Amino acid sequence: MGGRNAKPITLHLAEKNPSHLTKAEIEQRKKAEIKLGDQKLKCPQFVKTDVNAYAKWKEIVKIYKDIDFVSSGDTGLLGRYCMTFSEYQKLLEQRKRIDNIDMMGPDEREELEHYIDEDLAEDLINKVNYIISVDGVLKIDTAINKKMDQLVKMEDRLFLNPLAKVKNVPKKEPEKIDPLANKGFGNV
């Protein structure tokens, strides 16, 4: 089955009815839409415990405040989106920290060995060098890209980016063709 997914009718009307649906078509679409739960969006507990996720939750609730198509049945996806966004922010912070770490040279190695056991110093130096290594940077970049991909997919489902709003155009009802109208028996 081709075509795009239909937008909820309230979103369509918020965009000033771009395809000029009739009142009957609008009513038919309103009746056909499934609503789960009430209009009030209650923040899940796992989102409240994370500062970044909770801030994103508040931002999204403001966006959806006057829109009727989001209900309490959508809180699971909204919560997962907020947590994924928070994890993405944390990965970006880790990436910045890695960029600011300098490799230990021979002078720093000797100074570190002076304060702690030589084997412990060597182990610590190896761990720091691994984190800074290309492999460590590539792994964190891969994790960042995966989180970004997840966010984009969720944004599409939640209509949080402009492209998602454009993609989700409602499908038109097939026109009812009267076989007798073509033969001159139209208004009988």
pLDDT digits (tens, 9 = 90+) for 166-186: 665 555 666 777 666 666 655
Residue with tokens 């899940």: 44
The three-state secondary structure class of 170 is: coil
Using alpha carbons, list the distances in angstroms from residue 146 to 87, 88, 91, 139, 158: 11, 9, 11, 11, 18
| pLDDT single digits (tens) 30-75 | 666 555 455 677 888 999 999 999 999 999 888 877 665 555 567 8
- pLDDT averaged over the chain? 75
* Closest CA relative to residue 88, chosen from 22, 143, 15: 143
